[in-house]
């Protein structure tokens, strides 16, 4: 891969300056796969070999992506600041804290002593980033309706994720705080996003894969609620079935999305599918449902295929120099 690209003035510029914050979505996808494999192994009584290997790969990926963005901050700080002020990429900054929360969740079963400090750091960072992003949304910036997309759910998803590891670790009060804030903003943002999708121009092609993120808030919300509440009640039933409804809606859009040119935004397909897979296994266990256990297995096979395709296509895009280019 070339170390530089041509700017509009014809001058070479480091590709590192265009290293996107959206790279952290790949980490979310891999950690989502780890959690889905763990849930599948538990459901079918299998060893933890696959989820263990996925966890190692996820940690290595997190280190690599964080190192890349750390170098961007050190060497091209103005480019990072410009990315923060980008109306679309702003919502992706909490993918950093979400990655840490997911890592803590993946470590919880086998390494709780290691999971706790990672969860604390991730939760503190999530709280700070969510507040800063929301402050920008409702502050003085002049956002346009066309700039809204389903990626705006990412800060809310991060908040809803907190209780999944936080409740078992004993941080109930802070878990309820984040869960309440996340669920509240999911409802608010859902109204705004549906208005934008219905009454304004279609999403740009690079953003259309983010439609899959519609699945994530209710799927993650169901898992978090089961950790907080401990039983399958009416709210839990609403959340899991809302996730299935959005899954069906997104399915109607997939033929068009999959025909689009590849971009890093295609990684938006990974984590929501992983969340739906885990939620299905949790629901199957709570209901004692063989059908949902089988459905979870089918979703897991699909998730593995999606992740494999994304890894292969991302590697090809990097080799071709299609990543880290100015938009």
Place of tokens 């060497």: 75
Domain assignment of residue 5, yes or no: no
Domain assignment of residue 31, yes or no: yes
What is the distance between the alpha carbons of residues 49 and 41, in angstroms, rounded to a whole number? 9
What is the distance between the alpha carbons of residues 18 and 205, in angstroms, rounded to a whole number? 20
The count of domains in the chain is 1
The whole-number pLDDT of residue 3 equals 46
What the block records as the tokens of 250 is 């997104």
What is the distance between the alpha carbons of residues 1 and 250, in angstroms, rounded to a whole number? 34
Q: Any idea of the CA torsion for 231, 187, 169, 60, to the nearest 10 degrees?
A: 120
Domain assignment of residue 2, yes or no: no
What is the distance between the alpha carbons of residues 161 and 296, in angstroms, rounded to a whole number? 20
Would you say how long the chain is, in residues? 327
Domain assignment of residue 4, yes or no: no
What is the distance between the alpha carbons of residues 316 and 138, in angstroms, rounded to a whole number? 39
Write out the chain's pLDDT in tens, 327 residues: 344 554 444 444 688 999 999 999 999 999 999 999 999 999 999 999 999 999 999 999 999 999 999 999 999 999 999 999 988 899 999 999 999 999 999 999 899 999 999 999 999 999 999 999 999 888 766 777 778 889 999 999 999 999 999 999 999 999 999 999 999 999 999 999 999 988 888 888 888 999 999 999 999 999 999 999 989 999 999 999 999 999 999 999 999 999 999 999 999 999 999 999 999 999 999 999 999 999 999 999 999 999 999 999 999 999 988 887 876
For the domain that residue 52 is a member of, what is the CATH number? 1.50.10.150
Domain assignment of residue 13, yes or no: no
Check: CB of residue 259 under 8 Å from CB of residue 20: no
Domain assignment of residue 84, yes or no: yes
- CB neighbours of residue 50 within 10 Å: 17
The whole-number pLDDT of residue 306 equals 97
Which uninterrupted H or E stretch holds 28? helix 24-44
The whole-number pLDDT of residue 139 equals 79
Domain that includes residue 63, residue range: 18-139+146-320
What is the distance between the alpha carbons of residues 65 and 59, in angstroms, rounded to a whole number? 10
Domain assignment of residue 1, yes or no: no
What is the distance between the alpha carbons of residues 281 and 296, in angstroms, rounded to a whole number? 5
Domain assignment of residue 11, yes or no: no
The whole-number pLDDT of residue 13 equals 60
How much is the pTM? 0.93
What the block records as the tokens of 12 is 């070479």
């Amino acid at each position: 891969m070339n170390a530089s690209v041509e700017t509009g003035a014809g001058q070479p510029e480091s590709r590192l300056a265009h290293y996107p914050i959206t790279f952290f979505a790949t980490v979310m996808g891999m950690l989502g796969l780890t959690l889905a494999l763990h849930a599948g192994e538990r459901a079918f009584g299998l060893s933890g070999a696959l989820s263990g290997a996925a966890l190692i790969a996820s940690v290595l990926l997190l280190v690599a992506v964080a190192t890349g963005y750390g170098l961007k901050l050190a060497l091209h700080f103005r480019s990072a600041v410009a990315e923060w002020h980008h109306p679309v990429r702003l919502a992706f900054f909490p993918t950093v804290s979400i990655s840490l929360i997911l890592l803590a969740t993946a470590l919880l079963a086998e390494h709780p002593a290691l999971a706790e400090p990672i969860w604390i750091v991730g939760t503190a960072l999530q709280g700070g980033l969510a507040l800063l992003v929301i402050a920008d949304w409702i502050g003085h910036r002049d956002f346009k309706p066309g700039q809204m997309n389903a990626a705006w759910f990412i800060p809310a998803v991060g908040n809803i994720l907190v209780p999944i590891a936080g409740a078992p670790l004993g941080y109930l009060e802070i878990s309820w705080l984040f869960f309440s804030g996340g669920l509240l903003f999911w409802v608010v943002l859902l109204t705004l996003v549906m208005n934008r999708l219905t009454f304004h121009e279609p999403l740009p092609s690079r953003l259309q894969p983010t439609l899959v993120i519609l699945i994530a808030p209710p799927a993650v919300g169901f898992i978090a609620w089961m950790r907080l509440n401990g039983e399958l009640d009416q709210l839990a039933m609403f959340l899991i079935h809302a996730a299935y409804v959005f899954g069906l809606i997104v399915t109607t859009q997939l033929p068009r999305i999959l025909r689009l040119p590849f971009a890093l935004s295609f990684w938006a397909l990974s984590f929501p599918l992983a969340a739906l897979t885990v939620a299905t296994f949790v629901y199957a266990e709570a209901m004692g449902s063989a059908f949902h256990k089988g459905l979870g297995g089918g979703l897991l096979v699909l998730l593995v295929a999606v992740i494999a395709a994304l890894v292969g296509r991302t590697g090809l895009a990097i080799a071709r120099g299609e990543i880290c280019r100015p938009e």
